[in-house]
Amino acid sequence: MKRILLIPVGGTICTALTGHGTRAVYESAGLQLKSDFLSSESPFAAQIEIDTAENLMILSENMTPECWDRMLSVYREKTAQQSYDGVILAHGTDTLAYSASLLAMLLADTDIPIFLVSSCLPLSSPKANGTDNFRCAAECIGYGIEPNVYVPYRNVSDGVMYLHLGSRLRQCAGYSDDFFSVGAVAFASSDKDGYARALACVKERFPSEKRRPAFDGKRVSSLSARVLKLTPYVGMDYDAYDVSRFDAVLHGAYHSGTACAESEIDCRSLRHFADRCARAGVDVYLSPSKAEGEVYESVRLLSKQEACGRPIRFLYGFTDEAAYAKLVLAYSLCETDGERERFLKEECNFERIV
């Protein structure tokens, strides 16, 4: 008999329609997920015991670093009290990639598999994929998948079940119900042989011996909410942002790894903004972008930018979600610039995709 801890975080997989026709999280969602699995035709339906934690009642669009703290607190409390063969967190799709990235790096040294499971629609809908995603997670635990943080998700467009590594998951695009990641494993079939092939592929692509503890046992008491994430667009006005409220800025890049370096109006230039951040003691990171190689002249100008001893720093090779999660962890747990720089350069759970 294997034991699984189910933590209902919230999101669509934990919602039902209200009297106004909207979707809201309801208390007994975890019990429904448990009941649906135990009454299914899964070969593990009679071989898995599921303990259900209290529903955190968080619609995933309302996720914050403070909510992450609550989620982690429940995970740590429950796994400290009992021994489990795996953990499943029922989580919404809107911020799924952010939570998966954070957990994959923070819990890189996990000795049990951890799954984040979502649904494209409430479970009451016949078109929902949440029950299939939950069953996949439970059966992966039953078949003995390598410890790590995963997201199983059956895409709506092709009906294929994919197993994503948490640190590599990308946000679901607008007008879509599909998730993608670099190195995702597709299940050719849902029988024992299909699982054996998929789990062997996971073990080959993401060997457990290459994972490393991110902070050598140091535990975060609260996650930083002082990382500002910005997405560039034409005409961006940097003077709209009060940088004094933050420790770091994660500035996105256009697809060529560029951002506005020169403008007739100072407030529209990242160089001007970086100077203002430096004077306020705020670090600026450009991602995904690199300062070496055949870069554009704008990137060369940004790479030479330095004020008050604080140059613009470049992050390359991560998804946007993993870059943000890694900065949140860096500014939550690292006490010096040197510690942060080492952590950002070192890979702890295959988060570097390039």
Nearest alpha-carbon partner for 220 in 26, 73, 9: 73
- Could you give the CA distance from residue 137 to residue 152 in angstroms, rounded to a whole number? 6
**Both structure tokens of 31:** 């019990």
CB-based burial, 263-296: b 16+ in 10 Å, e otherwise: eeeeebbbbbbbbbbbeeebbbbbbbbbbeeebe
pLDDT in tens, the chain (354 residues): 999 999 999 999 999 988 888 999 999 999 999 999 999 999 999 999 999 999 999 999 999 999 999 999 999 999 999 999 999 999 999 999 999 999 999 999 999 999 999 999 999 999 999 999 999 999 999 999 999 999 999 999 999 999 999 999 999 999 999 999 999 999 999 999 999 999 999 999 999 999 987 766 567 779 999 999 999 999 999 999 999 999 999 999 999 999 999 999 999 999 999 999 999 999 999 999 999 999 999 999 999 988 788 999 999 999 999 999 999 999 999 989 999 999 999 999 999 998
Decide if 50 contacts 4 (C-beta within 8 A): yes
Contacts (Cβ under 8 Å, ≥6 apart) of 54: 8, 74
Decide if 17 contacts 23 (C-beta within 8 A): yes
Decide if 325 contacts 101 (C-beta within 8 A): yes
**Packing angle between helix 130-142 and helix 29-38, nearest 10 degrees?**
60
pLDDT digits (tens, 9 = 90+) for 307-324: 788 999 999 999 999 999
Angle at 128 between CA 127 and CA 132, to 5 degrees: 115
Decide if 237 contacts 268 (C-beta within 8 A): yes
Does the pTM surpass 0.95? The reply is yes
- Cα atoms found within 13 Å of the Cα of residue 121, Cβ hemisphere only: 9
Nearest alpha-carbon partner for 159 in 137, 129, 192: 129
What pLDDT shows up at residue 18? Answer: 86
CB-based burial, 42-56: b 16+ in 10 Å, e otherwise: bebeeebebbbbebb
Contacts (Cβ under 8 Å, ≥6 apart) of 154: 129, 132, 133, 136, 160, 161, 162
Q: What is the largest CA-CA distance in the chain?
A: 69
Contacts (Cβ under 8 Å, ≥6 apart) of 212: 108, 109, 346, 347, 348, 349
pLDDT digits (tens, 9 = 90+) for 176-204: 999 999 999 999 999 999 999 999 999 99
